[in-house]
A = this chain, B = another copy of it.
Amino acid sequence: MASKIRNMEEFATVSGISRPTVSKYFNDPGSVRASTRARIELALERYDYRPNIYAMNQNRKLTKTIGVVVPLLSDPYFAEIARKLEQYCIAAGYRPTLFSSHGDPALEVEVLDTLRSLKPAGVLLAPLGRASDRNALKKFCDDVPTLIFDSSVDEIGLAFVGSDNFQFTSHITDYLCRTGEAPCFFEMKTPANPNAHRRRQSYLDAMARFGHKPDVISIEGEGWGFEEIGRLGGHEAFKKDRFSSNTILCSNDRLAIGLLTACYEQNIRVGRGDDCAIRVAGQDGHPHSRYTCPPLTTISHDYDSVSQTAVKTLFAAIEGQVSPWKSTRLEGRLILRDSA
């Protein structure tokens, strides 16, 4: 009974519908009459046929593929947001394909090239940032409907969706100031992306607002191994007695995780208790931050909103809605834990 169906022609025959109508169904099940749709779906259950993806996409101007590109998939933050982006894309009837630049600008360009040849309906791109090849990105955005997320590079693509880094740092600095010593700020001297610069500036602004003297500790280190950079930088800073406050706000959670390790190795007790020497806070709401020792106080991205907004904005643009370039920055939520 279930002799294998080889192509749409055969499937159309067994379902008693003409091939063009079947084709129409696969491109949009809602575009055929309900009774027709029912007959097709009945046949679909009986015969287990799937149209050939390659033949489909060859003639379509617009594929149903959505490219999702993140700078570093082994960072659980990106893994998490990528997962949510995937979900929303699937829910919207698209086929997400995941790529990682693995922290390498050359790979980022390669990924973009691969993506171009996939003729995706759209791309959700979190650029590497500072190291990105701006021209390559710009050219890519000209060819493919691209929404930038997480970290903005110029005013590129259809729009930008990310977090409000100013609010992030302002909010957590406020909290730290009101609950103890005003924090100093722990960051990488040459950070990977512009978010870090916004956070530093926001820290400086907030400190000025409260009338405190700011102190920025900028540590050495290149690449995406933030934990190790934070750990080594932490040791260095302790050695040179660079921390002018007992409270340290880190530019991001991964740096904070490394700093916590350094604190442990220096035998410095971190937390809010009387027996603790310093307080440490991060920023990002990294999936791992709950499980550090002590658990890390941080300000978290609104993962759901960021990813949902990103997907919605992209699809609005794809489906013909023209709107000027726009930047959406969502607020973060303070997560109070033991570290600060």
Contact = CB atoms under 8 A, between A and B. Distances in A.
A231 B79 contact: no
Interface stretch (A17-25, A211-219, A289-297): A289-297
A2 to B, nearest CB: 13
Interface string A107-133: 000000110111100000000000000
A294 B264 contact: yes
A264 B79 CA distance: 27
Interface in A318-340: 338
A254 B54 CA distance: 40
Interface stretch (A92-100, A156-164, A166-174): A92-100
A117 B98 CA distance: 17
A46 interface: no
Contact of A73 (B73, B119, B228, B294): B73
A260 interface: yes
B100 A97 contact: no
Contact of A74 (B231, B263, B287): B287
Contact of A80 (B50, B58, B74, B294): B74
A76 interface: yes
